[in-house]
């Protein structure tokens, strides 16, 4: 068993190759081999979001604060709030981030593909048109 104090892992700025806007990531856990799971707490400033991307083995997002947006390639933009959980299927192209006028924080859990060593495959940025589309049900 390992206990890691809150100050042992500094926050890291999300790179512009993966995100639009200001994003900060805090590692929650990364299992030692043979474990392949990684969990991050990700903070998005208003308007910030990921680029389009896929996770070979899928991803779970649990919203802990604020108001966010998520979208799968073949679906509408959806609004998410604290307590909501989003399950993204293996290879499902998607994006997620904060609403235009709210911060958002989520816990992201994904697994490394043992064949390729990849957890995430990044694509192009999400256009303002896609991001600003009215969320379904609003």
CA distances from 40 to 5, 33, 64, 77 (A): 15, 18, 12, 23
Average pLDDT (22-32) is: 93
Predicted confidence at residue 34, as pLDDT, reads 87
Q: Which two tokens stand for residue 77?
A: 């933009």
**CA pair distance 94, 19, nearest whole angstrom:** 13
Around 30, how many Cα atoms within 13 Å sit in the side-chain half-sphere? 6
Instruction: Count the helix, strand and coil residues of the chain and give each as a percent rounded to the nearest 5.
Output: 5, 45, 50
Q: Which two tokens stand for residue 44?
A: 């998005």
Predicted confidence at residue 3, as pLDDT, reads 85
Average pLDDT (40-66) is: 98
104-111 and 94-98 strand pairing: unpaired
Alpha-carbon dihedral 121, 106, 125, 70, rounded to 10 degrees: 100
The answer to whether the predicted template modeling score (pTM) of the entire model surpasses 0.85 is yes
Predicted confidence at residue 44, as pLDDT, reads 98
């Amino acid at each position: 068993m390992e206990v890691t104090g809150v100050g042992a892992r500094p926050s890291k700025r999300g790179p512009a190759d993966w995100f639009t806007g200001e994003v900060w990531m805090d590692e929650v856990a990364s299992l030692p081999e043979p474990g392949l799971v990684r969990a991050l707490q990700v903070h998005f400033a208003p308007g910030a979001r990921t680029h389009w991307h896929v996770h070979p083995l899928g991803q779970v997002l649990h919203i802990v604060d604020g108001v966010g947006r998520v979208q799968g390639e073949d679906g509408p933009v959806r609004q998410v709030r604290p307590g909501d959980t989003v399950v993204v299927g293996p290879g499902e192209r998607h994006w997620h981030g904060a609403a235009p006028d709210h911060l958002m924080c989520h816990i992201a859990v994904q697994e490394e593909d043992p064949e390729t060593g990849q957890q995430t495959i990044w694509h192009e940025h999400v256009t303002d048109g896609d991001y600003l589309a009215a969320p379904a049900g609003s």
